[in-house]
Amino acid sequence: MYLHLGQNVVVPISAVIGIFDLDNTTGSHLTRAFLSNAEKAGHIVNISEDIPKSFIICREQDKEIIYLSQLASSTLLKRSETMRFD
């Protein structure tokens, strides 16, 4: 099964480690440092045409990739739950 993250990007549901809301999580200095380090390392993929609302941490081919999506974390969570139970 695959999860559609927006902008024609899909990832295997098994690769998803976590789905996070940017507004709620970036208040923490630890999250900001994590995202900053990931960007410096080239692990961030921005698939948002607008201001991103969520970030998704995936593990693909022994590499960590963080997608910035314009979709809300609640929307992505609902999509992932639907996929797991269908």
According to DSSP, the β-strands at 9-12 and 16-21 are: unpaired
Question: Distance between CA atoms of 69 and 73, rounded to whole angstroms?
Answer: 9
Whole-prediction pTM: 0.88
User: What's the pLDDT tens digit per position in 9-66?
Assistant: 999 999 999 999 999 998 899 999 999 999 999 999 999 988 999 999 999 888 999 9
Q: Would the CA dihedral through 55, 58, 60, 64 be positive or negative?
A: positive
In whole angstroms, give the CA distance from residue 38 to residue 34.
6
Asked if residue 66 lies in contact with residue 45, where contact means CB atoms within 8 angstroms, the answer is yes
* Cβ(84)–Cβ(2) below 8 Å: no
